[in-house]
Structures are given as C-alpha cells and as structure tokens.
Amino acid sequence: MLGKNILLCVTGGIAVFKAAALTSKLAQSGAHVKVIMTESACKFVAPLTFQALSRNEVYTDTFDEKHPEKIAHIDLADWADLVLVAPATANIIGKLANGIADDMVSTTILATTAPVWVAPAMNVHMYGHPAVRRNLETLGSFGYRLIEPADGHLACGYTGKGRLEEPENIVALLKDFFSGGGPKPLSGKTVLVTAGPTIEKIDPVRFLSNRSSGKMGFALAEEAANMGANVLLVTSVDNLTPPAETEIIKAESAEEMYHAVMGRYKEADIIIKSAAVADYTPVRVFDKKMKKQPGNLTLELKRTKDILKELGERPDKPFLVGFAAETDNLENYARDKMERKRADIIVANDVSREGAGFAGDTNIVTIFKRDGSKRELPLLSKHEAAREILREICREIEKGEKK
C-alpha cells in the first residue's frame, strides 16, 4: 500500500462515519488518499473531517475548479491507482451502471481507467431490489469489484445484509490486491468451484434442498480470480453477484451438477467442491402438482452420484478440495471423508457454532491435509477464510511440485 494513490468516493448514507475510519486506516497503511464527497455525504460528516484524516483537500463540486491549469475531475481520475466507492448508495450504483455523470463522483469515475471497487451500504430490502442487483451485475461486467456488505443490525432498524464492510477488512483486501506486484500465485491455473445448494424437484411446485447460500463458494471463486486463476463456477445460485471474468455454469440439480463438473474437470488444475449437493433425490418427479391426499405421504428417494468420490477415483484427478459441514465429531468425519473420497484437503466447519452456519457472512473452518496436519482458522469473513484456504492449497501444490 505504501505510496499507492487511493481515490475514496464517499456517497450519502449513515455509513459515512465508517468512511472516515477507512480514510484513517488507508493513510496509516502508507497510501495517499484523496476524497470526493457527494452533497448528501456532506450532510452526514463535514468535509473538514476527511481533509484532516487524509491531509488532502476534499472535493465536492465538479465546477469548483481550484487550479486553472488542470480540470479537477480528470486530474483525479488520472491520479488514482484505485478508485474506492465506500459507502456506495443505491443511487450511485444506478448512476455508474447507466453511465450517468451528474456530480463530482460519477463524473470522475466515468473518466478513470483505474480499477474501481464498490462497497455498498443500504437497507436490506434496497440491496435485494431487482434494480440494484441488475445494476451490480452490470458493474461486474465492466470489471468493477464488489465488496459485499455484511449482515447485521442496520441504522434503519432492520437486521440483514446492508452494513458497509468493516474498514480494516477493506484495507486488507486492498493490501492483497496491491501485493500482487509479481506473478500471482494461481496465474496460469484453472480453478473449478462448485457453490450453493442443489434443488431436487418433486413436482412443478415443490422441491428438496438445503440451507446453503453459496456465499462461501462465491467468495472462493472471487479470491481465486484475484490470485490470477481462470475460474469456472458451477452453481444453482442466482441471487449473488458473480465475480467478474468468471465463467458461470448453471446446474440446478445434483445430476446437472455431476454432468457439469465431470464435463469440465479435465480443464481444471484445482477443484473446490464447496457446494452442498443433495445426497438423495426423488425417484419420481411428477409432471403436475401433487394434490393433498388423506393420511401420510411416503416419498421414495434414491442416492445421487457422489461427485467428489468419483473425481477422487480418476487417475487424472486434479488437486481436489472437499467441504464437510458437520454438527459433531468434526475431525473424525472430516478425516474419514478425506480418505474415502481421496481428497487432498478437506475444509470442515461445525455449522452449529455461532458465526459458522449457513447464509451468514462469516465462517469458522478447519483445514485438514493428507499429511495428518490441520490448521484451525478463527472466526473470519468468508472472503478472508477463502483467501486462507487458497493459500493452503497453493502451499500444498508447491510442496507436491518440489517432491
């Protein structure tokens, strides 16, 4: 981060106070920070606060040209090594997605060729609105990087996804990004990741599934891409923003996921099976909705194909990583799974622990390896956990190459 030019664009929301802390932490890390604020952001925190923390003048008005020898928004656009929008409101996300440039922030971002990162903060229902999701997908197609908001209590009184990611976590992401001056650890490698639940149809209305959200798999895909990998993401999930420059392969059922993975596994150097694939699927799928009948209903199920086990038995298998979500006997079940499936690493978590269950933004995992060792990670965001898992994969591959 030392000497890097970070252009922080602050837009209006209660999370502006976190942007002040973020400015301080960026400056402490050695970065040069300049701040642009929207008119709405200035209503929450005065520009003087950001001036004191960044030790640079703060920009708020496109037409306030302090230096006649240069145009401020073009000069800032060219100056930046990275543009960070934090907090990013639904309004600025919509503007950027549609090429609207009607204030200092949107005009500058439209003019920059630097990487742009967007850290949303808003009400949980606003974040889930189809227009906002569509706009975020559009930004992803531009190559913008999304820093997912966290779950928690929001200023509006709701509890859910919408909190600006913590400043220290944002700084850590930037440090990782800028530390890649040389070859990235996964450059030249293809990583296939499976994510989320499978959906096993019973009839046109009903299905069997599980509580997996896909967040861990999406985090692994994004962090693998950040480490230089070519990423294939096999998933049924459609309510998360996919990482930029990642090939998405849709697979709804266990059978579809089996064919998607087996059809592409030869391309992969690493396969990370983080999806929660159903163990059973209905023997019969009804064409029409089953009508309620008197008495109990017996639904006959059959075993699905074991994708991880079949991959492990292939003589040309890539480096293979499995996941184990358990509620007890974590180490015994994880090591047994590693042996039975011939995986190289098993990442296990006790989903009954607070912070390690489904759907949240954090996880507590233990990484088990074939040499008998293990590494226990503390409570981390799923992106932080994903980075540590990928680093362990890189270490194991490097050890194998040295043998």
Q: Consult the annotation and say whether 43 binds a ligand.
A: no
The verdict on whether residue 337 carries a ligand-binding annotation is yes
b (16+ CB within 10 A) / e for 234-254: bbbbeebebbeebeebebbbb
CB 257 within 8 A of CB 304: no
Annotated catalytic residue within 9, 42, 156, 394: 156
**Contact indicator for 41, 12 with CB cutoff of 8 Å:** yes
Is residue 156 annotated as a catalytic residue, yes or no? yes
Cross-strand pairs, 302 = 281
CA distances from 402 to 12, 270, 370, 395, 397 (A): 52, 18, 16, 11, 9
Per the annotation, does 323 bind a ligand? yes
Nearest CA among 234, 151, 140 for reference residue 195? 234
305 marked among binding-site residues: no
Could you tell me the CA-to-CA distances from 320 to 69, 71, 249, 315 in Å, in that order? Answer: 58, 53, 19, 12
- Residue 70 labeled ligand binder: no
CB 242 within 8 A of CB 233: yes
Burial of 88: CB neighbours in 10 Å, binned 0-12, 13-18, 19+ = buried
CA–CA distances in Å: residue 249 to residues 281, 311, 333: 21, 18, 30
List the beta bridge partners of residue 49: none
Q: What residues contact residue 262 under an 8 Å CB cut-off, 6+ apart?
A: 307, 310, 311
Report how far residue 211's alpha carbon sits from residue 40's, in angstroms, rounded to the nearest whole number.
39
Whose CA is closest to 273, among 343, 335, 223, 336? 343
Distances (CA, A) of 391 to 109, 129, 291, 367: 33, 35, 51, 11
275 in Cβ contact with 217 (< 8 Å):
yes
Strands 145-146 and 116-120: parallel
- Catalytic residue set: 156
- List residues forming the annotated binding site for CTP: 279, 289, 323, 337, 341
Residues placed in the known binding site: 279, 289, 323, 337, 341
